[in-house]
Amino acid sequence: MSGRGCSSWMGPWLLNPLRRWTVEPDKLLGPYVQEGMTVLEPGPGMGFFTLPLARLVGPNGRVIAVDIQVKMIEKLRKRAQRAGLAERIELRLAGRDLLGIVDLHRRVDFVLAFAVVHEVASAERFFREIADVLRPRASMLLVEPSVHVPRNKFAIELEAARAAGLEVAASPVIGGNHAALLRRI
């Protein structure tokens, strides 16, 4: 999963409460995530979405958060413990070129990829890994910030997703972002 990756010094900024003015995790994720689900979140940073995901999946669900930076994982671990959600969250360190999720083959109900695909070395490889872990007809919310990812680059990402066996099911409106709800065919 080598790529640029968001620097760990950006972590606290990504948790800034003012960020909730542009995106409210519970409101955004509520329509897609239910109690008992297994959710994968590549590139969670310090957990802006991870903790809300853990609350949504409930005590019988699981969130698997995969990042390339040890510092981000450690901060997320501490935040999850303080919130009483650590038992619902599995933290993984991604490998150099792979997410390290092969053991999840056809076990994931939902994937949140928020502002992460433009950071990976190979969108094609990323989407192949994601398609492999999704259950049939399971979904993925792909969101990329317009400021970093122009429309034509987002279209290229969607082509890589289609080549991996994912289809666009909807195009949710998320201010300042390009977004697509993808489903495994």
What pLDDT, on the 0 to 100 scale, is given for residue 4?
46
Q: Structural domain of residue 147, as residue ranges?
A: 8-184
Residue 1 covered by a domain: no
pLDDT tens track for 111-136: 999 999 999 999 999 999 999 999 99
Q: Which of 139, 85, 83, 69 is nearest to 108 (CA)?
A: 139
pLDDT tens track for 98-108: 999 999 999 99
What pLDDT, on the 0 to 100 scale, is given for residue 21?
46
pLDDT tens track for 25-64: 999 999 999 999 999 999 999 899 999 999 999 999 999 9
Residue 121 covered by a domain: yes
What pLDDT, on the 0 to 100 scale, is given for residue 159?
98
How do strand 108-114 and strand 134-145 relate by DSSP bridges? Answer: parallel
CATH of the domain at 112: 3.40.50.150
Residue 3 covered by a domain: no
Residue 74 covered by a domain: yes
Residue 2 covered by a domain: no
Residue 126 covered by a domain: yes
Residue 130 covered by a domain: yes
Number of domains in the chain: 1
Residue 154 covered by a domain: yes
